[in-house]
Amino acid sequence: MAYRRLRVSICLSVGLVAGGIGLAMPAAAQVPIETVIQPPAPNRAKAQPRRPQPEQVPLDDPEEAERQPPPQRADGDDPEIAETEDGTPAERRLVPSAGELREDGRAPRMPVDGVIEDGNPASNVMVDGIGDLQRDGRRPEDVAAFNTPPAGYDALAFQIEQLDPITDRRVDRLFRFEPYSPVGLRFGSFVLYPEAEIGGLYNSNVYRNGSGAGAGAFEGLGSLRLVSDWRRHAFEIRASGRTTFYDRYASEDDRTWNLEARARIDITRRANLEAAVSHTSDRDVRSVIDAPTNASIRGEYTTDRVAATYNQQFGRATLQLRGGLSEVTYADVPAVNGSIISNAPRNFTQVDQAARLSWALNRKMAVFLDTSFRQRDYEVAATDGIARSSSSERYRLGLLFSPLGPSLRGEVSVGWGHQGQWDRRLPDMDGFLFDASLAWKMSGLTTFLLSARSDFYDTTLAGSPGTLSREVGLQMRHALTRSLIGTLGVKYALSPYQGTSLEDRLLTGEAGVDYFLNANVSLYGRYQHLEFRSTDTTRDYTAEVVRVGVRVRQ
């Protein structure tokens, strides 16, 4: 009994002592224990495997390309979204978040004692007097502009581009990337894109001959594009113009304008019909072999054209039928002695027919076979008494890349062409063809554009039906900063005239820079070097053209 009482007394004493300590130190139990041990990652359910894509591979299906407007955004932001290799939208990430691997595969750094992370990527944290050399000091929007380049949704709404596939404007759109995309002005279900350029130029050889007469000029350009914003069908009307006013040699002023309307009718999900009608007015180029050498002014010529294209998809195969009718008219010009020079032998009517069969290798590339036929009818004979009427055909095999691809757009092809004259007194022309319009986005900072054209051109030169002219060019565009983008390019053209020893060569070098003040205003500078050489040395010339100005758009 005494032992049991002693044990109870000891227990009561221990309880009283513990309770007193607890009352005397109420905050001690709330002091945290600091540790650098990371908590375990939460369990996540395994992602379900993605279903394989169907075998249907439509490269240019209007239903596949999202035409709905992008999410709400601030004016000037580019709404295009990058895609992954399997065609799904890619996640945009400016900087890796805590606990995630960075793009280079390394885990995030552990926190440093005494350093307060404020979440501002531009802050320069100092540790023991040394700056954080691994921190990216750029602003988040600058990082996003180049790490997640835009692609996919086209802000300029180029939806009717199969009238002549090699002139697809979406290819140039990828090459000429910019930090801002135009927003346009909305009018109901239409969007208006206005643009204007005002500047000055200096041309060291206005007449494009051996005289080397130079002059400065005021230059103005403008364009208006009204495009539809419909889920089905599409419509576009475009007006553009360019003019120059030289301080001397007013006869060499430029006056160019164009009016064009396009439409697309979506017949079914796999079939559509595109059509266009256009009128263009321009001025003759003095260095062209058929231009009158003794004209007092540069004569005007006009081009009226209607064209239509039918597209039909059959699984991986796509059939395209194209047709067009053009009429080119050169106006008579006054000579330096006051007489009138007739340009009637240069007027012609042209009819085009073409068929293209393509097979999609995957969602981003297809192989195609293109066959085209052309007839040109001249009503008036040239000075040698022979009209230059002809028929020609072209056969080309090439590769086509998706016009909405994030890194590669356009096409490249090789083939053979032949042109036969209706008047057998003139020889036929034939030869190798190489055509390309291919844009490659190497990175978010740099793009390249490969361009090449091979085509038959007629001439009124005595004894010659014309030339199979070939031109190839390469351009590079690089972003020096977010707002400063430079461009370099070179082109070379070769034109040997059939039936004569005449051969013309033209080398063109270009350099330019664009500085974007904001989404609507940019400054530009352009330099162009022209070097023309011919077997007829009296026609040789060299010219330097410099342009500076401001561009305004909405």
Interatomic CA distance for residues 306 and 279, integer angstroms: 9
Residue 361 has pLDDT above 70, yes or no: yes
Residue 376 has pLDDT above 60, yes or no: yes
Interatomic CA distance for residues 96 and 363, integer angstroms: 30
Q: Among 79, 69, 65, which Cα is nearest to 182's? A: 79
Q: Among 485, 489, 491, 488, which Cα is nearest to 551's? A: 485
Residue position matching structure tokens 């986005």: 441
Instruction: Compute the 3-state secondary structure of the chain and give helix, strand, coil in percent, each to the nearest 5.
Output: 10, 45, 45
Q: Among 161, 183, 179, which Cα is nearest to 170's? A: 161
Please give the residue that has the higher pLDDT: either 542 or 65. 542
Contact 307, 164 (CB under 8 A): yes
Question: What pLDDT is stored for residue 118 in this prediction?
Answer: 44
DSSP string, 192-250: EEEEEEEEEEEES-TTSSTT---EEEEEEEEEEEEEE--SS-EEEEEEEEEEEEESS-G
Region 232-257 average pLDDT:
96
pLDDT category, 79, cuts 50, 70, 90?
very low
% of the chain residues with pLDDT over 90 = 69
CA angle 546, 547, 553 (to 5 degrees): 165
Residue 539 has pLDDT above 80, yes or no: yes
Question: What pLDDT is stored for residue 322 in this prediction?
Answer: 98
Q: Among 546, 406, 501, which Cα is nearest to 80's? A: 406
Q: Among 453, 344, 332, 357, which Cα is nearest to 388's? A: 344
Question: What pLDDT is stored for residue 519 in this prediction?
Answer: 94
Q: Could you tell me which CATH number the domain at 165-193+216-456 has?
A: 2.40.128
Region 503-516 average pLDDT:
98
Token pair listed for 478: 């690089």
Model confidence over 378-409: pLDDT tens digits?
Answer: 999 999 999 999 999 999 999 999 988 999 99
Cβ within 8 Å of residue 349, ≥6 positions away: 325, 326, 327, 328, 376, 377
Tell me how many helices (H) and strands (E) the chain has.
Answer: 3, 23
Question: What pLDDT is stored for residue 31 in this prediction?
Answer: 37
Contact 111, 38 (CB under 8 A): no
DSSP designation for 142: H
Question: What pLDDT is stored for residue 266 in this prediction?
Answer: 97
Q: Which range, of 142-156, 220-234, 512-526, averages the lowest pLDDT? A: 142-156
Averaged pLDDT of the chain: 82
At residue 326, φ and ψ (nearest 5 deg) are -130, 150
Q: Among 410, 439, 405, which Cα is nearest to 87's? A: 405
Classify residue 449 by burial, with Cβ atoms within 10 Å: 0-12, 13-18, 19+. Answer: buried
CA angle 101, 104, 107 (to 5 degrees): 35
Which of 118-127's residues contact partners 24+ apart within 8 Å by CB, and which partners? 121/94, 121/95
Model confidence over 183-218: pLDDT tens digits?
Answer: 999 999 999 999 999 999 999 999 999 888 999 999
CA angle 262, 265, 268 (to 5 degrees): 155
Region 266-282 average pLDDT:
97
- Locate the domains of the chain by residue range: 165-193+216-456
Look at residue 507 and give its three-state secondary structure.
strand
pLDDT category, 157, cuts 50, 70, 90?
confident
Model confidence over 457-491: pLDDT tens digits?
Answer: 999 999 999 999 999 999 999 999 999 999 999 99
Model confidence over 403-426: pLDDT tens digits?
Answer: 889 999 999 999 999 999 999 999
Classify residue 68 by burial, with Cβ atoms within 10 Å: 0-12, 13-18, 19+. Answer: exposed
Token pair listed for 139: 């602003």
Contact 174, 253 (CB under 8 A): no
Residue 536 has pLDDT above 60, yes or no: yes
Length of the chain: 554
Question: What pLDDT is stored for residue 137 in this prediction?
Answer: 58
At residue 416, φ and ψ (nearest 5 deg) are -135, 140
* Entry pTM: 0.74
SS (H, E, C) 250-317: HHHCCEEEEEEEEEEEEEECCEEEEEEEEEEEEECCCCCCCCCCCECCCCEEEEEEEEEEEEEEECCE
Residue 35 has pLDDT above 60, yes or no: no
Question: What pLDDT is stored for residue 312 in this prediction?
Answer: 98
Residue 12 has pLDDT above 70, yes or no: no
Residue 455 has pLDDT above 60, yes or no: yes
Residue 49 has pLDDT above 60, yes or no: no
Cβ within 8 Å of residue 550, ≥6 positions away: 197, 198, 199, 521, 522, 523, 524
Question: What pLDDT is stored for residue 134 in this prediction?
Answer: 52
Return the H-helix or E-strand segment holding 540.
none
% of the chain residues with pLDDT over 70 = 72
Q: Among 229, 231, 156, 232, which Cα is nearest to 187's? A: 229
Token pair listed for 175: 């090459």
Token pair listed for 57: 């591979």
